[in-house]
Amino acid sequence: MLIGMTYDLKDDYLKEGYEPESVAECDSLVTIDAIDAALQKLGHQPVRIGNVKALVARLAEGRRWDLVFNIAEGLFGLLRESQIPALLDAYQIPYVFSEGFVLAICLHKGFTKDVVRKAGVATADFCTLSQAEDYKKVDLPYPLFLKPVAGGTGIGITASSKVTNPGQLKSVSQAMLAAYEQPVLVETYLSGREFTVGITGTGDDAVSTGVMEIIIDHQSDGGIYSYKTKQEYVTTTRYEKPEAAAWKACEAVALAAWQALGCRDGGRVDVKMDEKGVVHFLEVNPLAGLHPIDSDLPILSRMHGLSYDELIARIVHSAQKRLGL
């Protein structure tokens, strides 16, 4: 198949003067090269397109593809991840990963938690703040945890994200609202172990590629899986396989959330235990990072015996099956 590749290349934006944190979710050339090589090994012909503006130009030229492998997350607005899928839908060009509607829901952590909670999946109590004075309406027990509602890669998360009193809630929430110009998610802090679960497939065909426990050095941002901690993961974080009971509990929550949200083909679900060891849904990444060395999905898949090329193959085969290609 002729497979187009859409992505946001980090180096392109850095050359334009963007700050590193603002393009943290964009991809490196290493990732694009790795996906390209994996697609070729599957017998496909990959064509590098680039970001949404490059896609618009190619479509205007009359270019078309049998399938598009889309990992572009965009830069602006709560619909940034949905821009390319919406364009491809308009031109009736099939693509890998979730549709634009699902990506929009999953980008907004509050909407995501609403959906999974209604599906019966455990998730911490929460609310969202949109205005500077909204902190006064919060009626949740301390400690609380705050993060930008549409951030990824730990952006906006620091040691101060965990708050223990109304004064901290006010100062941290107002600082986040000003800095990131988007609502803030406030949720009951879960004090237990943290995990991420890899998933490939769609609907009833979805399966786990493995469960990985995330163990953070408490010297790094107070043991918070923050933007800083993620950037320095080699020295701040250990990844381990959990015991069977934890594995099964994490997998069950992750798959239930994945299916309830309608996610497709491949991605990750983050979960965390409360003080009693009950697993709760944290968030989902339906456009998970695919850097062959540094991204969590390839790391955990490799930990469980699934190579990078096999991971890409599973993702593409899932898209082919649901599309009848």
Domain residue limits, the chain: 2-95, 114-120+191-323, 125-188
Q: Are 264 and 97 a contacting pair, CB within 8 Å?
A: yes
Rounded (5°) CA angle 70-5-51 = 75
Whether the predicted pLDDT of 115 surpasses 70: yes
Q: Does domain 2-95 have CATH number 1.10.3470?
A: no
294 exposed, middle or buried (CB, 10 Å; 0-12, 13-18, 19+)? middle
Q: What pLDDT score was predicted for residue 152?
A: 77
Confidence bin at 61 (pLDDT 50/70/90): very high
Supply φ then ψ for residue 9, to 5 degrees. Answer: -85, 120
pLDDT of residue 221: 57
Q: Of 310, 266, 272, whose CA–CA distance to 288 is shortest?
A: 266
- Rounded to two decimals, what is the model's pTM? 0.93
Q: Which of 284, 282, 302, 283 is nearest to 292 (CA)?
A: 302
Tell me, which fold does domain 125-188 have in CATH?
Answer: Dna Ligase; domain 1 (3.30.1490)
Between 227 and 155, the more confident residue is 155
Read off the tokens for 70. Answer: 């889309």
- Contacts for 145 with CB less than 8 Å, ≥ 6 apart: 161, 162, 163, 186, 187, 188, 189, 190
Answer whether residue 23 shows pLDDT above 90.
Answer: no
Question: Is residue 9 within 8 Å of residue 16, measured between CB atoms?
Answer: no
pLDDT bracket for residue 18 (50, 70, 90): confident
Per residue in 146-163, pLDDT (tens digit) is: 999 998 767 788 889 999
Query: SS3 of 164, please?
Result: coil
d(CA 122, CA 285): 17
Per CATH, which fold does 114-120+191-323 belong to?
A: D-amino Acid Aminotransferase; Chain A, domain 1 (3.30.470)
pLDDT for res 310? 98
Q: Give whole-number Cα distances, 244 to 9, 241, 249, 251, in Å.
A: 39, 9, 9, 10
- Torsion 20-21-26-29 (CA) sign: positive
Contact 280, 273 (CB under 8 A): yes
- 222 pLDDT above the threshold of 70: no
pLDDT band at 6 (very low <50, low <70, confident <90, very high): very high
Residue positions counted in the chain? 325
Q: Which DSSP string corresponds to 84-136?
A: HHHHHHHTT--BSS--HHHHHHHHSHHHHHHHHHHTT--B--EEEE-STTGGG
